Amino acid sequence: MLTIPQQFEELLKHPENILIMLKKNPLIADTAAALALKKILENGKKTVEIASENFRVSSKMKFLPGLSEIKDNLSHLRKFVIRVDTSRTKVEELSYNQNGDHLDIFLMPSGGMFRKEDVETREGDFRFDLIVCVGSPDLESLGELYEKNSEFFYETPIVNIDHKPTNEHFGQVNVVDLTASSSAEIIYAIAKRFITEPFHPDLATLILAGMIAETKSFQKRISPQSLQIASSLISQGARREEIIQHLYFTKSLSLLKLWGKVLTRLQKDDKYGIVWSYASADDLKLTLDDGLEDIMEELIASSPEAKIIILFAETKPDATAVSVQTVKNIDAQILSKPFTQNAERQSAQWTMAKNLMETQTIVLESFKKTLEGLPK
């Protein structure tokens, strides 16, 4: 029986066009890992694309090599084939006309006539012959790119790469390593099998960036092996100082002020283990919206005892964005079900057409009611 790495290698032998998928709103760690994998596969003469629904570049990730190549949609997945039998009559001229919502195709025969029986249609093959998902707990986390192209995902082999216990092992090959510090560390192991060291500095930088972002610069509990890998990457040209500078020190004065405001508004409910705060529309005018991810991380760091952390962000007077993070024994999908179907096990985001105070009241009451109904 083939090992998981061997199965992965076997799957890679024949595909020429590979799609790497990131979940909707991917973290920097998984984005860096996906970009690293793209370089590895391209080194093996594969054609590779990366996609993530509505992918948005935050200021912290702008330094990642190849970032501009990530697409926010899946276009041209397959061709539609119109076949004409020309055994009796040859085509002398072909033309078409876009007529409103209709496309008219005209064939001029060189002699005789075409009949409707001479024409058949079919769907062509999908453009990609392998999908690799990086850091996605399930297919649903890919958002509309999965929902609107489910046939493509069901008919195409999937390799699933992740390091979290919430992963649902949805691939034909599941490279899920719970001992790895990050998806990037798994990508490092893949790189070792496919590329002769030393790595290119850009590849080393991407892998190290993924590891640093996931572990908060190795503050989380990690194995000695992870530290050895980091050391090896630095020796191969990984730009550690550049990574640290962009991830942790590129913060504007306006963002720091917003942090202060949100932290002073911190509220908690000890009975339910809920901690929450908010940012008003006026607050958000002072900074870029990608700063909300930093603020959520700060709330988590400031509330180690919390089971559920919620950040309410007023985007307009009648619209409020909600971000939720939970600990591993609290399912964010269950809590958020009345509001969104796209939540993950430990996180959820959605927007409500309510003002800030109404949204806080509705969400908090709903969460408490759900928690009351859960088994003790």
In the chain, at which residue ranges do the beta strands (DSSP E only) sit? 17-22, 47-51, 70-71, 78-84, 91-99, 102-109, 119-126, 130-134, 158-162, 173-176, 267-269, 274-279, 308-316, 319-326, 347-352
Report if pTM > 0.85. Answer: no
Rg (CA), the chain: 25
Tokens encoding 185 = 């560390």
First CA to last CA distance, the chain: 43
As a whole number of angstroms, the distance between CA 255 and CA 291 comes to: 7
Angle at 219 between CA 216 and CA 221, to 5 degrees: 115
State which amino acid sits at residue 29: A
Using CB atoms within 10 Å of the CB of residue 334, give its burial: 0 to 12 exposed, 13 to 18 middle, 19+ buried.
Answer: middle
Instruction: Give just the sign of the alpha carbon dihedral 219, 220, 222, 226.
Output: negative
**Rounded Cα–Cα distance for residues 132 and 123 (Å):** 23
**Domain ranges across the chain:** 4-74+128-246, 79-124, 253-373
User: In Å, how far from its chain's centre is CA 109?
Assistant: 50
Provide the edge-to-edge strand list for the sheet that holds 130-134. 70-71, 47-51, 17-22, 130-134, 158-162, 173-176
- The answer to whether the 4-74+128-246 and 253-373 domains have the same CATH topology is no
Q: Which CATH class is domain 4-74+128-246?
A: alpha beta
- What is the DSSP secondary-structure string of 148-173? TTHHHHHHS-EEEEE--TT----SSE
> Which residue is it, tokens 């962000």?
313
Q: By the 8 A CB rule, do 13 and 43 touch?
A: no
Give which of 148, 147, 144, 146 is closest to 158, Cα–Cα. Answer: 146
Q: Could you read off the pLDDT tens digit of each residue along the chain, which spans 376 residues?
A: 667 777 788 888 888 999 999 998 888 999 999 999 999 999 989 999 999 998 888 778 889 999 999 999 998 888 788 888 888 888 888 889 988 888 888 888 888 888 888 888 887 788 999 999 999 989 988 989 999 999 999 999 999 999 988 889 999 999 999 999 999 999 999 999 888 878 999 999 999 999 999 988 887 778 899 999 999 999 999 999 999 988 877 666 666 677 778 888 899 999 999 999 998 888 777 665 455 666 777 777 677 788 999 999 988 889 999 999 888 688 898 999 999 887 777 888 899 999 999 999 999 999 999 999 887 6
Using CA atoms, how far residue 148 sits from 74, 135, 156, 189, 349, in Å, is: 10, 20, 15, 33, 20
376 burial level (CB within 10 Å; 0-12, 13-18, 19+): exposed
CATH topology for the 253-373 domain: Diaminopimelate Epimerase; Chain A, domain 1 (3.10.310)
